Amino acid sequence: MSHFTKQEKQVLLLVATVFAAGSLTHYVLDRSPAFKKTIGVVESAEIYPKLDVNTASLEELVHIPYIGEYTAHQIIDYRQQKGPFKSLEEIKLVHGIKEKNFAKFAGFLKIK
* Structural domain spans, the chain: 6-43, 51-110
pTM of this prediction? 0.60
Q: What is the distance between the alpha carbons of residues 34 and 58, in angstroms, rounded to a whole number?
A: 33
**pLDDT attached to residue 41:** 47
First-residue to last-residue Cα distance in the chain: 68
* Homologous superfamily (CATH) for 51-110: AF1531-like domain (1.10.150.280)
Sequential pLDDT tens for the chain (112 residues):
578 899 999 999 999 999 998 888 778 777 877 776 666 645 555 566 789 999 999 999 999 989 999 999 999 999 999 999 999 999 999 999 999 999 999 989 999 8
> Collapsing DSSP states into helix, strand and coil, what is residue 104?
helix
**pLDDT attached to residue 24:** 86
